[in-house]
Amino acid sequence: MTTIGLTASVQAASATPAPVCTNGLCTVTFDYTGDYYVYAPPAGIRTMTFELAGAQGGRTGGLGGKVTGTFSSIPSTMNIYVGGAGKQGASALGGYNGGGVAGGSHTDEGSGGGATDIRLTAAIDDRIVVAGGGGGTGGWIGLAGAPGGGLIAQTGSGTSPYGGGGATQLAGGSGGSGYSAGSGSAGTKGVGGTGGIGSAGGGGGGGGGYFGGGGGGGDGIPSGTDGAGGGGGSSYASANYTKSVTHTAGTRSGNGQVILTYAYSPTVTTFATVSSAGNQSTVAYNLVFNQTIGGLETTDFGFAGTAGGCSVSAISGSGSSYAITVSGCSDGTMGLTLAADAVTGAVTGPTAVAASNQITLDRKNPSFTITSPSTPSNLAALPFTVTSDEPVTGLGASSFSVAGTSCQVNSITGSSQSFVVTVGGCASATTATLTLKASGASDLSSNSGPLAAVVSSGVLVDLDAPTALTFAKDPTSRPGLIGYSLVFTEPVTGLSASSLQLHGDSCQLSKLSGSKDAYSIWLTDCSQGASTWVTLKALSATDASGNQGPLAALDSPTVSIDDQAPTASIALLERASQTAQPVFEVRFSEAVQGLAIDSFSHSGTATGCKFTMTTVLVGLTYRLAASSCSAGTVRLVLPVNIVQDATGNLGPLSVINSDAVTIDRTASQSSTGTAQVKKRSHPSGATPTTGSTPIKPEESETNQPENSGRLLPKAKPPVKLATLTSETELSQPATNDKTLGFAALALAFLLGGGWLYRRMR
């Protein structure tokens, strides 16, 4: 059953009668007052039954009907209307709450009895239970009014004139026809019809109800049967709010009545231990209810708390008071519970689980744990948490001992089961431990503990700030990316870009990586020639103990930015004549390393060339002398990226070619005996300057820069130099100069090189 919006509040036109209660069962009786009641059922009830009786019709008319049943859904508020009995007299008003008016004119006609109903509001359409009223008796000798009640009420007595019709669930009763007199009117929703007017006797009024009974017909002939009886009013019960309903017609004399009966569940008023001592082997409880109950069993109880093995070993008592004995419990907290609806009083109850107070059973020594602060720690005062499994007393400085250089107990705070022991004075790098001595405290039952000493875990005391172990240039630095390696004395966290200050024009932080004690810092976009370094700000890193460091800002080494590749030039030193073997001088823009005789190659028509290399200025200037070259041309070639400077830049970035040098074994000598050849330098393999030894056409083509934007044909591929020590001969065959001239001329015409033709001529 559902109880809707229970409240103890009452507000009514008629005062609500007081309930009469016995052992949780209460009855409220609502009698006729001529007005309605507003009633709110009390909180906590689980069932409510109803009994409604309609009022009797006037002039000892039909008895009122009765409706009994149970609320399936208890309304939070009810408007209760109790019907009044019908009256006697010509045109007498009907009984309260719908009784029909009596007919006339004999002065003794009976009006209809009023219906009794329960409503959700004052509106007639909100009725949920109705008991019909009886019809009034007709005038003079008169015919009886019909009893009220039933889903279809009875018709009033009389055939000449006719009695009023009984009401149904759908309509009021029809009016009875008069006998040479007026007819009664039909009943309507909630109201009985009016009796007919007759000179010999008027008809009785219809009874009130869900629908009202019809009024009886009047009698106009003195020798007739006199006024007819009114019809009975119908009863009703809502299927949404009621169940187990019974309708009975014609049971109530006089005024109507409402009886509501409800039951309170038994509740627990006392549930407590007899003694609070913690060393009991058995525990006794008093259990008292607010009403007499039955059905209490050991299986109705449960246990709450940490104690195990408990059982209810005995139940004694009767009526509403009982004694419960619990035994077999282990140490721990223990409480007893009573299940909902475990017993039966007026109804089953209690409505919810009832719980006793809890006690702590303690028949053992207290045990302890010590929780150390996190390690390592930079705290000057280390808080150790000491916890017991039960409340204890007597814990003091003498209960403890401390290990660790200079460590001592500073203070003890807390109570009951939790304490904080502060250890201070420890030297940095020492490991502190706290020991609780055996029997250092007692519980509330005077059990001492712990049985054996309890030792905490060690805490490494670290009061030193982290510092940088090394801060150096990273050996993997390369052009455009400068790296620094930063190594701390211990693992740290918190290092970020904001921890660093960059120095050097345009330098940007490219990446900060690493973890624990090793980090890498990478810079990009530094201006050429700039001096750059990185400052690690003070207190920018934090070690595992929370110490911040370094205590002062720290600078990395300074690095000069050099992202330029080394360049080179090859110059021909002057010769006494064209028959002399050439000597080339190679010069670099900056000191380089990695240059060797095998770094070079040569090209041209001369064969058999061997070369030796001498150092003029280490890393900057070198000379390569040719020997054993046959007649023809020779050019010295330095490939790309063959050397590197001090910062690792590779160079040169393009192939470097010398001028093509002609070796003429048959050339005539000048009057001075030597042919002076000027020194020429071509850093990028450009065309020889004016006055140099003529270059054959195929050599001119290959002498153009590789990055000139067009692909130039090469007469012959470069060959690696043969050194004097290896005596390796070049594999190029000698070529007749004249043959080469004609070949070059033909090639020039094929390539559209008229200028080459003119130069050859």
Please indicate, yes or no, if residue 282 is contained in any of the structural domains: yes
Specify the number of domains making up the chain: 5
pLDDT tens figures, 96-132: 999 999 999 899 999 999 999 999 999 999 999 999 9
The residue to which tokens 């530094």 are assigned: 526
Question: Cα dist. 410→284, 406, 407, 739 in Å?
Answer: 46, 12, 9, 108
Kindly state the DSSP code that residue 699 receives in the 8-state scheme: H
10 near 16, Cβ under 8 Å?
A: yes
For residues 433 and 477, state if they share a domain.
no
| 712, pLDDT greater than 70 | no
- Cα dihedral value 242, 243, 244, 250, nearest 10: 30
pLDDT at 576: 87
Work out the angle at residue 675's Cα, subtended by the Cα atoms of residues 674 and 676, and round it to the nearest 5 degrees.
105
Q: What does residue 228 show for φ and ψ, rounded to 5 degrees?
A: -85, 155
pLDDT at 684: 38
Residue 761's pLDDT band, with cuts at 50, 70 and 90, is very low
Q: What does residue 124 show for φ and ψ, rounded to 5 degrees?
A: -65, -25
Secondary structure element (H or E) that encloses residue 758, with its range:
helix 754-760
Q: Rounded to an integer, what distance in angstroms lies between the CA atom of residue 143 and that of residue 229?
A: 5
Instruction: Single out the residue in 533, 560, 587 at which a domain terminates.
Output: 560
For residues 355 and 375, state if they share a domain.
no
Please indicate, yes or no, if residue 744 is contained in any of the structural domains: yes
| Nearest C-alpha neighbor of 241 from the set 118, 75, 73, 78 | 73
- Measure CA 27 to chain center: 54
More confident residue, 724 or 545: 545
Q: What is the share, in percent, of the chain residues with pLDDT greater than 70?
A: 86
Amino acid identity of 738? K
- Who's near 56: CB < 8 A, 6+ residues apart? 62, 63, 64, 85, 86, 113, 133, 134, 252, 253, 254, 255
Q: Rounded to an integer, what distance in angstroms lies between the CA atom of residue 28 and that of residue 80?
A: 12
More confident residue, 756 or 585: 585
pLDDT at 225: 75
Residue 647's pLDDT band, with cuts at 50, 70 and 90, is confident
pLDDT tens figures, 610-633: 999 999 999 999 999 999 999 999
The burial class, CB within 10 Å (0-12 / 13-18 / 19+), for 670 is exposed
pLDDT at 564: 86
Q: Rounded to an integer, what distance in angstroms lies between the CA atom of residue 452 and that of residue 311?
A: 33
Instruction: Single out the residue in 441, 460, 479 at which a domain terminates.
Output: 460
| 357, pLDDT greater than 90 | yes
| Nearest C-alpha neighbor of 155 from the set 170, 173, 141 | 173
Residue 413's pLDDT band, with cuts at 50, 70 and 90, is very high
Mean pLDDT value across residues 695-700: 32
For residues 27 and 38, state if they share a domain.
yes
pLDDT tens figures, 374-400: 999 999 999 999 999 989 999 999 999
For residues 441 and 496, state if they share a domain.
no
For residues 227 and 282, state if they share a domain.
no
pLDDT at 560: 84
Question: Cα dist. 383→372, 413, 553, 569, 751 in Å?
Answer: 7, 10, 33, 75, 93
pLDDT at 562: 81
For residues 505 and 645, state if they share a domain.
no
Please indicate, yes or no, if residue 35 is contained in any of the structural domains: yes
More confident residue, 97 or 688: 97
For residues 636 and 704, state if they share a domain.
yes
For residues 614 and 713, state if they share a domain.
yes
For residues 518 and 547, state if they share a domain.
yes
Structural tokens at position 269: 């008023």
pLDDT tens figures, 511-527: 999 999 999 999 999 98
Work out the angle at residue 538's Cα, subtended by the Cα atoms of residues 537 and 540, and round it to the nearest 5 degrees.
75
For residues 414 and 479, state if they share a domain.
no
Write out the residue range of the structural domain in which residue 52 sits. 1-264
In 10 A of CB 746, how many CB atoms? 12
Structural tokens at position 184: 């009664």
| Nearest C-alpha neighbor of 675 from the set 657, 694, 659, 688 | 694
Please indicate, yes or no, if residue 476 is contained in any of the structural domains: yes
pLDDT tens figures, 483-505: 999 999 999 999 999 999 999 88
For residues 375 and 451, state if they share a domain.
yes
Instruction: Single out the residue in 507, 534, 560 at which a domain terminates.
Output: 560
Please indicate, yes or no, if residue 761 is contained in any of the structural domains: no
pLDDT at 446: 79
Mean pLDDT value across residues 338-346: 96
107 near 89, Cβ under 8 Å?
A: yes
263 near 25, Cβ under 8 Å?
A: yes
Residue 307's pLDDT band, with cuts at 50, 70 and 90, is very high
pLDDT tens figures, 229-245: 999 999 999 999 999 99
Coil, strand or helix at 337? strand
The burial class, CB within 10 Å (0-12 / 13-18 / 19+), for 222 is exposed
Coil, strand or helix at 756? helix
Q: Rounded to an integer, what distance in angstroms lies between the CA atom of residue 758 and that of residue 385?
A: 104
Structural tokens at position 678: 């000027």
Q: What is the share, in percent, of the chain residues with pLDDT greater than 90?
A: 76
Please indicate, yes or no, if residue 757 is contained in any of the structural domains: no
| 690, pLDDT greater than 50 | no
Residue 139's pLDDT band, with cuts at 50, 70 and 90, is very high
> pTM of the prediction?
0.50
- Who's near 603: CB < 8 A, 6+ residues apart? 634, 635, 637, 699, 702, 714, 715, 716, 717, 718, 719
More confident residue, 576 or 602: 602
For residues 125 and 209, state if they share a domain.
yes
Please indicate, yes or no, if residue 657 is contained in any of the structural domains: yes
Strand 73-74 versus strand 2-3 pairing type: parallel
Kindly state the DSSP code that residue 398 receives in the 8-state scheme: G
Q: What is the largest CA-CA distance in the chain?
A: 191
Question: Cα dist. 583→163, 316, 606, 677, 742 in Å?
Answer: 155, 129, 15, 11, 29
CATH, residue 580? 2.60.40.1220
Please indicate, yes or no, if residue 760 is contained in any of the structural domains: no
Q: What is the CA radius of gyration of the chain?
A: 62
Q: Rounded to an integer, what distance in angstroms lies between the CA atom of residue 387 and that of residue 410?
A: 18
